[in-house]
Amino acid sequence: MPGLIGKKIGMTSVFSVEGKNIPCTVIEAGPCTVTQIRTLKTDGYEAVQLGFVDKKEKHATKAEIGHYKKAGTTPKRKVVEFDGFGDDVKLGDVITVDMLEADTFIDITGISKGRGFQGVVRRHGFGGVGQSTHGQHNRLRAPGSIGASSYPSRVFKGMRMAGRDGGKTITVQNLQVLKVIPENNLLIVKGSVPGAKDSYLIILK
């Protein structure tokens, strides 16, 4: 499935023709450079590698510099492989936001905001405050029992407990493209997308 690499700019809102206020996300999508083309003969699979956002050569390894010189471009900060481009693209081609159109639907993948160490109420949506009778006075947001004692005498794998929350790869499907602004490489989609401002996003057509 062909796609693009983007960067989350932030959220805003636009008015529809009916006068409704629609929350939306502004994304800087591309331009992405084709840095490598994977083939069945050499790699065992077909894909197109895209690079996004230039990186100074002093921050790149010699292997990276040589890799990008083959494509006739500078080192990139973010590199992602996509399939489905076919034979239309060549090494060094630049893919822009022009490949997307308004009123179409896309999937966006990003890394959610890290929340740090959280309890079960925030992390898993536990009820929290239960009965305050029967001597309970300081266990209002505790998880409660996590297993039986005599059998199986252990805690099952996957038990929902407190721990680090966020920082996970999340994909939101079927987001509507409200507007494409090619001259500024901007993409406006309906609703929210995972990640903090300036975080990288993978946009699938």
Average model confidence (pLDDT) for the chain? 91
Every domain of the chain with CATH number 2.40.30.10 lies at: 3-117+169-204
Whether the per-residue pLDDT at 80 is higher than 80: the answer is: yes
Distance (Å, whole) CA 3 – CA 78 = 14
Q: Does pLDDT of 17 surpass 80?
A: yes
Its pTM surpasses 0.75? yes
Average pLDDT in the 144-162 region? 91
Lowest mean pLDDT among 1-15, 71-85, 134-148: 134-148
Question: Which of 33, 51, 46 lies closest to 90 in space, CA to CA?
Answer: 33
State whether the Cα torsion 119-122-125-126 is positive or negative. positive
pLDDT grade for 63, boundaries at 50, 70 and 90: very high
Amino acid at 55: K
Is pLDDT above 90 for 156?
Answer: yes
Please state which of the ranges 21-35, 96-110, 136-150, 154-168 shows the lowest mean pLDDT: 136-150
The residues, any chain, with a CB within 8 Å of residue 178's CB and separated by 6 or more, are 14, 22, 24, 102, 188, 189, 190
If DSSP codes are grouped into helix, strand and coil, which group holds residue 63? helix
Question: Other CB atoms closer than 10 Å to residue 22's CB: what's the count?
Answer: 15
Find out if CATH 3.10.20.30 is the number for domain 3-117+169-204: no
